[in-house]
Amino acid sequence: MRALSRTSLTQRLTLMFALAASSVLLVLGFVIAASVEQHFEDLDMEVLSGKMELTRQALRTMTSHEALTQFTHQLAQSLVGHPGLEVMVIDADHSVVFATGNAHFSPEVVVSQATRAPGRPAFWALGSHTYRGLAAHIPTAALDSSGSPVKVYVAVATDIAQHTTYLRAFLKTLWLFVAAAVALTGVLGWAAVRRGLMPLRTMREQAQVVTAQQLSHRLPVQHMPVELAELAQSLNDMLARLDEAFTRLSDFSSDIAHELRTPVSNLMTQTQVVLSRPRDVAEYRSVLESNAEELERMARMISDMLLLAKAENGLVVPARETVDLAREVRALFEYYEAVADEKNLQLSLSAPSAVPVLADRLMLRRALGNLLSNAIRHANPDSCVRVTLAQASEEVTVTVENVGDTIAPEFLERIFDRFFRVDPSRQHGDGTGLGLAIAKSIIVGHGGTILATSSGAVTKFTIKLPVTPMLTPLTH
């Protein structure tokens, strides 16, 4: 089995093709040989049966021992012109009454055959000759002392040497032809398999072109056989996924380098300036406090990026429990109330008394908190941030909307990308640029969807989460 596993596909298919063809040819050879032999047997049996019936009819007219002598003379004359045909007549005492020149069969063998299997062909060997014969126990018209018909044993045989010689030569020719056909089938099968597997070699050559720098290369599908076309399409899909993952990884690395370069540069510059000359304690404290803020921002950014990396690779598995969205939104309103008061914003919730979903409480609160924080940050002063909860039979809809600058359609397509900011001037604000990306990852991880729209100075984020039955009753 291990040796077969190391055999090439061409060799395997050629071997299986040759074995299948050999089996068919061998079976065909045996059928032909059996048919020819049966044909010769039928010819012999036709002659032997005719002579046996002729002998049977003649014996029915024999009424005395003198008639038996006359019968033997008639039988000898009837065999003239039938070379190779031998006849033997044996009386009840197992004495040979009549026999042709070469009919030296053992009377016991003839009597046994006539008694055990009358009318069935048998093979008798005399020296170098082989005969096919029939034996029968035939009654005559003569009567014995008890008044019963006198019976004699009759054997009719024909020399099958000519048939045997022909059959031996025929079988030799047949098996030589079968051997040659098997060899030719193997060669033709190898050529056909090699020709048929040529698309596989083409796929291998094309696959060797694919490198980390050329992940966009695709295998040809149009001119492939149906089976290989499916394989090529699967490989192309795999390459597309690898290309997308590699692009995401490259973009992720670029984003990390870009976002961390500025705070690291600021820390280095501030530290170098402070160390350039002696300063008092207050100046050192001020610089250290500034550095601590930058480090905290970097720590949040790294933590957020780690969460996104896990989410994109399916490593975030929410610990689901029954969560009341209305209660969570009210709790977030209390948390962001001070920030909203600074801009004189009103926080409004429109929802049923309880909106239960099966979700990870902390992660879902983080997603809603990111959306609410984003809405407060970009809302116009003296406006209202509205959160609406609606429950249907199959899903729960959450909308967060604020009044502020309208987001252009081309920016809406990228608003959930990492580190993307509609206003570049806010590049160094308090946020890390990962809030919406994290919110989308959490919502998608819960089997939901999130969509952003913006028109007429109103920006709205819409979340749809699947509804599942409550597992535990909600408490208020």
Residue-wise pLDDT tens digits, 99-112: 777 777 888 888 88
Cross-strand partners of 303: none
Cα–Cα distance between 118 and 364 in angstroms, integer? 99
Convert the pLDDT of each residue in 218-252 to its tens digit: 777 777 777 777 778 888 888 888 887 777 777 66
Over the Cα atoms of the chain, what is R_g?
52
Show the domain range for 358: 321-466
Query: What CATH number does residue 384 fall under?
Result: 3.30.565.10
Instruction: Assess contact for 294 and 265: CB atoms under 8 A.
Output: no
* Same domain as 68, residue 11: yes
Query: What CATH number does residue 242 fall under?
Result: 1.10.287
Cα–Cα distance between 165 and 183 in angstroms, integer? 27
* Same domain as 35, residue 127: yes
The verdict on residue 476 lying in a domain is no
Q: In the chain, what are the helix, strand and coil shares in percent, each to the nearest 5? A: 55, 20, 25
List the structure tokens of 272. 């170098």
Q: Print pLDDT tens along the chain (476 aa).
A: 455 556 677 778 888 888 888 888 888 888 988 888 888 888 888 888 887 877 777 777 766 666 666 666 666 666 655 666 788 888 878 888 777 777 778 888 888 888 888 878 888 887 777 888 888 888 877 776 677 777 888 888 888 878 888 888 888 888 898 888 888 888 888 888 888 777 777 777 777 777 766 777 777 777 777 777 777 888 888 888 888 777 777 766 776 676 677 678 878 887 888 888 888 888 888 888 888 877 887 777 777 677 766 666 655 556 778 889 999 999 999 988 888 998 999 999 998 888 888 888 888 888 898 899 889 988 999 999 999 999 887 889 999 999 988 888 888 877 887 766 666 544 444 555 677 888 888 888 888 899 999 988 899 999 999 876 443 333 33
Backbone angles phi, psi at 368, to 5 degrees: -65, -40
* Same domain as 83, residue 28: yes
* Same domain as 273, residue 161: no
* Same domain as 240, residue 92: no
Which of 312, 331, 356 terminates a domain? The answer is: 312
The verdict on residue 198 lying in a domain is no
Which of 293, 312, 331 terminates a domain? The answer is: 312
Cross-strand partners of 451: 462
The verdict on residue 250 lying in a domain is yes
> For the stretch 421-432, what's the b/e string if a residue is b when 16 or more beta carbons lie within 10 angstroms of its beta carbon?
ebeeeeeeeebb
Instruction: Assess contact for 31 and 44: CB atoms under 8 A.
Output: no
pLDDT of amino acid 396: 92
* Same domain as 423, residue 352: yes
* Same domain as 155, residue 24: yes
The verdict on residue 89 lying in a domain is yes
The verdict on residue 104 lying in a domain is yes
Distances (CA, A) of 297 to 293, 339, 340, 373: 6, 19, 22, 16
Query: What CATH number does residue 133 fall under?
Result: 3.30.450.20
- Which DSSP string do the residues of 228-244 spell out, in sequence order? HHHHHHHHHHHHHHHHH
Cα–Cα distance between 157 and 86 in angstroms, integer? 5
Cα–Cα distance between 420 and 409 in angstroms, integer? 14
Tell me whether strands 384-391 and 395-403 are parallel, antiparallel or unpaired.
antiparallel
* Same domain as 388, residue 302: no
The verdict on residue 157 lying in a domain is yes
Which of 245, 279, 312 terminates a domain? The answer is: 312
The total number of structural domains in the chain stands at: 3
pLDDT of amino acid 427: 45
The verdict on residue 217 lying in a domain is no
Tell me which H or E stretch contains 207: helix 198-209
* Same domain as 405, residue 340: yes
Could you tell me how many residues make up the chain? Answer: 476
* Same domain as 234, residue 97: no
pLDDT of amino acid 5: 55
The verdict on residue 437 lying in a domain is yes
Backbone angles phi, psi at 261, to 5 degrees: -65, -45
Amino acid identity of residue 357, one-letter, is V
Amino acid identity of residue 129, one-letter, is H
* Same domain as 344, residue 304: no
* Same domain as 329, residue 305: no
pLDDT of amino acid 469: 42
